[in-house]
Structure 1
């Protein structure tokens, strides 16, 4: 059973066939699918699943804090099931591929008090950008 499915069962989330398929599609490492990609993969497993059901389920998962929305450079939102493990993202500036990364250090510690302008900083999101091996041909 995937980490996401395990967490949802632990919360007592009502697991319909449609919800299960969406959760299964989101399982795995480095998963950052758009809603349309989730729909396409879910339809292969459960042909009768509707677009509305997929979008509603994704919205519920985000509201529960079990899936994070990731937006990069005005591209379509992507859904990241790795919401319970601190990480940052490495994004290909050509094709938009996204990988989870866990750099050393604390990005909050890198922001000096003089640059916080009185804010109580609770979180930092760092996005690393570059070109993936597919786009560089290596």
Structure 2
């Protein structure tokens, strides 16, 4: 489970009511909401929260490295609070559902030396695609 609120408190990040509710919405396993979904969930808890506040808060969380943006197949960006645990993503090609997955092995070592073209590899992102059980039925 994401520990986003705890991490933000440890950083001393000012948790206004609006920031807190955005962080609460993002807290959890397999959370990959769009900004509009974050706003919808946040406004259910704090009706006066503005869409701009949600967007600004998400931008700040990305900038400080506590949330990552996930973009898949030209769909809306999604926000993932699971930044402390190395993982990849499994994406449904039909509905866009995203799940965190933890494949065995190191994706950095999977690229052969002759395919690195002199690059010093620092990161690898693997996205698995398929059809989720809901879309398959």
Task: State the Cα distance separating 1:133 from its structure 2 match.
Answer: 0.3
Equivalent in the alignment of 2:80 = 80
| SS in structure 1 at match of 2:59 | helix
| SS in structure 2 at match of 1:82 | coil
Q: Report the Cα distance in structure 1 between the residues aligned to 2:47 and 2:35, rounded to whole angstroms.
A: 16
Equivalent in the alignment of 1:12 = 12
Deviating 4+ runs (over 3 angstroms):
none
Q: Report the Cα distance in structure 2 between the residues aligned to 1:131 and 1:29, rounded to whole angstroms.
A: 20
Q: Report the Cα distance in structure 2 between the residues aligned to 1:7 and 1:111, rounded to whole angstroms.
A: 33
Structural RMSD (CA): 0.7
| SS in structure 1 at match of 2:69 | strand
Q: Report the Cα distance in structure 2 between the residues aligned to 1:64 and 1:116, rounded to whole angstroms.
A: 30
Residue 136 (str. 1) matches residue 129 (str. 2): no
Give the 5 Å matches for 1:33-52. 33-52=33-52
Residues 66-122 of structure 1: CA deviation (Å, up to 9, x unaligned)? 000000000000000001110000000010000000000001111011101111100
Unaligned segments of structure 2, at least 5 residues: none
Task: State the Cα distance separating 1:27 from its structure 2 match.
Answer: 0.8
Residues 23-55 of structure 1: CA deviation (Å, up to 9, x unaligned)? 000011000000000000000000000011000
Q: Report the Cα distance in structure 2 between the residues aligned to 1:65 and 1:84, rounded to whole angstroms.
A: 10
| SS in structure 1 at match of 2:96 | coil
Task: State the Cα distance separating 1:7 from its structure 2 match.
Answer: 0.2
Unaligned segments of structure 1, at least 5 residues: none
| SS in structure 2 at match of 1:104 | coil
